[in-house]
Amino acid sequence: MIAILQFDGVSLPHLHQFLEQGRLPGFARLRGRGHWYSLQTPVASWEGATYFTLYSGRGVEEHGIYFPFMWSAAEQRVRPQDYYPAPEPIWDRIGNVGRRSLVIDPYEGREPKSIKGKALGGWQFEHKVTLHRWAVPRSLDRQLERRFGRPSLVEEVYGRPSTQHLFKMRNRLLGAPKRAAEVAATLLSEESFDLVWITLSSSHIAGHWFLDPSRLPQDQLDAGMKTDLDATLCDAYAAVDEALSRIVDVLPLGTDIIMLSPSGMGPNATRTHLLPGMLQAVLSEKSVAKNATRAAGNSLWRLRAALPADFRAWVARALPDRITLEITSRLETWGVDWTETCAFMIPSGICGYIRLNLMGRERDGIVSPEKAGMLFEQIVSGLRTFRDPDGEPTVKNIEFVSNSLGCETLLHPFPDLIVHWSERSPMDLAGVSSPRFGEVLSPGWGSGRTGEHCDGAWALIVPGSSKLKTPTKPPHILDIAPTICSVLGVDTDRLTGQPLLERGAAIQ
């Protein structure tokens, strides 16, 4: 058996700090037995591709999934990610040859198609975007709920979070890992599996909202409340550590264990909520105040600023997940006049995604391919003129996707440009300004998150019945799927990664 235990979205500085403080005893024990690998990851440019790459062993240039909401050129609109086909995950791949898997809560994972064994989605907690409820067999979740209860809903609502919302999130995140450990112990006691893949996402969501509690609204916090919020990240990591320890204890003797995080977590430095206004200013070279409201991608940020987060959360709870995602995707480009839009922002997170409204590619394209180069130059040079309130550059660099992905033409489904922001955290409600284009005001709090994805992926490998295999190139999250195949004797056709383990007597 091989077990993949996902300690998800970990901030390495905090992980090391909590280890030194003795708050993660289970991880410390495993760390003493294991071998540490830093992993390459696509998260800095393609945060939404990370999990599909990890699960399938195929890169974003192959599977094409790059964000929870993606652009459909043929329809001139944004679609939820589930509208697009996903690459085959490793548990389906090994299921095709009869290998059995136990899979619990793969982050952004979809319901398996050819898995042999058992699988649960949205078990520890539900999430409107990334953790939908499903089960294989279909009745499995209902059977287990009679014993362990129903999962709670963890809501991430962009904007200024309320104290009530933050504490509700804290309590649910701290209780979730135990649910995974309990159900894993139950199912592992009933039958055997070849692959166990369990994702503990409380650390991930806690990193988004509690990485830097000083950036949360402080006006309604008394001393006790502040103490609890300040401790949330450590408490979440400790809850994950306790659950992982229990899972490790029930794994059969000789199990190969890989504990990993496919991305790091660092301070939220995104200014993506400012990008629609910045882009509109660059393209129009007119008054920002008069034109930014019509910029593609700006209507949703303005709605988030106008309506309290708790109200929007209440509306989302009342609607089925499918309707919530559809409304969100429609609002991304609501009110845009495509006959006058040369380039636009498409949904993105830690970095900004820009796509040209290109003739022959977009349904309503107005930019001829011959003029694309000049437009790119105008956008890139214009965005680089913006400065934060302290006078420092807002933009760190701008990536041309056709170059980084090796696209021979612009006829691809991805953004054309990726805007990487300054690594310094911006002040809440702060806008940006340009000597050429004037000031772009902030449409509210932005996402409200204090932490965001960053480099810092890692794997801790503890061989059981297998032995380590020396990497021939820097380890990557692409290597996890072929490692599983190598251990289980399954072919690695179309997988570009390298196995990090091979069958044989383990080296202890």
How does 268-300 read in b/e, with b if 16+ C-beta sit within 10 Å? bbbbbbbbbbbbbbbbbeeebeebbebbbbbbb
At which of 406, 431, 446 does a domain end?
A: 446
The pLDDT assigned to 429 comes to 80
Q: Looking at the domain assignment, is residue 33 inside a domain?
A: yes
Helices and strands: H and E segment counts in the chain: 18, 22
The pLDDT assigned to 128 comes to 82
Residues paired with residue 454 on neighbouring β-strands, in sequence order: 264
Please report which confidence band the pLDDT of residue 289 belongs to, taking 50, 70 and 90 as the band edges. very low
How does 26-41 read in b/e, with b if 16+ C-beta sit within 10 Å? bbeebeeebeebebeb
Please report which confidence band the pLDDT of residue 508 belongs to, taking 50, 70 and 90 as the band edges. very low
Residues 326 and 380 in one domain: yes
In the chain, the largest separation of any two C-alpha atoms, in whole Å, equals: 69
The pLDDT assigned to 299 comes to 66
Q: Which residues contact 160 (CB under 8 A, 6 or more apart)?
A: 217, 308, 309, 444, 445, 448
Residue 200 contacts residue 255 (beta carbons within 8 Å): no
Indicate the range of 1-10, 125-134, 413-422 predicted with least confidence.
125-134
Q: Looking at the domain assignment, is residue 508 inside a domain?
A: no
Task: Give me the domain span that covers residue 159.
Answer: 2-267+452-503
Q: Looking at the domain assignment, is residue 117 inside a domain?
A: yes
Residues 250 and 315 in one domain: no
Please report which confidence band the pLDDT of residue 295 belongs to, taking 50, 70 and 90 as the band edges. low
Residues 437 and 487 in one domain: no
Residues 185 and 62 in one domain: yes
Residues 415 and 459 in one domain: no
| 457-476 pLDDT tens trace | 999 999 999 999 999 999 99
Residue 131 contacts residue 104 (beta carbons within 8 Å): no
Indicate the range of 77-91, 125-139, 305-319 predicted with least confidence.
305-319
Average pLDDT over residues 309-335: 78
For residue 452, the one-letter residue type is: E
The pLDDT assigned to 366 comes to 97
| 8-37 pLDDT tens trace | 999 999 999 999 999 999 999 999 999 999
Residues 441 and 466 in one domain: no
Instruction: Residue count of the chain, please give it.
Output: 508
Residues 57 and 176 in one domain: yes
> In 3D, which of 466, 468, 460 has the Cα closest to residue 487?
466
At which of 427, 446, 465 does a domain end?
A: 446
Residue 224 contacts residue 285 (beta carbons within 8 Å): no
Residues 426 and 394 in one domain: yes
Report the C-alpha gap between 400 and 415 in whole angstroms. 9
Half-sphere exposure of 324 toward its Cβ, with a 13 Å CA cutoff? 19
Q: Which long-range contacts (C-beta less than 8 Å, at least 24 apart) are formed by 226-235?
A: 228/167, 228/170, 229/166, 229/167, 229/170, 232/170, 232/173, 232/174, 232/206, 233/11, 233/14, 233/206, 233/207, 234/14, 234/18, 234/21, 234/23, 235/170, 235/174
Q: Looking at the domain assignment, is residue 417 inside a domain?
A: yes
| 153-207 pLDDT tens trace | 998 888 888 898 999 999 999 999 999 999 999 999 999 999 999 999 999 999 9
Residue 427 contacts residue 85 (beta carbons within 8 Å): no
For residue 232, the one-letter residue type is: T
At which of 412, 428, 446 does a domain end?
A: 446
Q: At what angle do helices 223-230 and 163-190 cross, to 10 degrees?
A: 40
| 78-112 pLDDT tens trace | 999 999 999 999 999 999 999 999 999 999 999 99
> In 3D, which of 505, 43, 500, 87 has the Cα closest to residue 262?
43
Residues 167 and 254 in one domain: yes
Please report which confidence band the pLDDT of residue 297 belongs to, taking 50, 70 and 90 as the band edges. low
Residues 220 and 295 in one domain: no
Report the C-alpha gap between 88 and 471 in whole angstroms. 24
Q: Looking at the domain assignment, is residue 336 inside a domain?
A: yes
Query: How many domains are contained in the chain?
Result: 2
Read off the pTM: 0.93
Q: Say yes or no to pLDDT of 422 above 50.
A: yes
Q: Which residues contact 280 (CB under 8 A, 6 or more apart)?
A: 288, 291, 292, 294, 295, 298
Residues 68 and 112 in one domain: yes
Residues 254 and 287 in one domain: no
Residues paired with residue 471 on neighbouring β-strands, in sequence order: none
Indicate the range of 176-185, 252-261, 398-407, 441-450 predicted with least confidence.
441-450
Q: Looking at the domain assignment, is residue 130 inside a domain?
A: yes
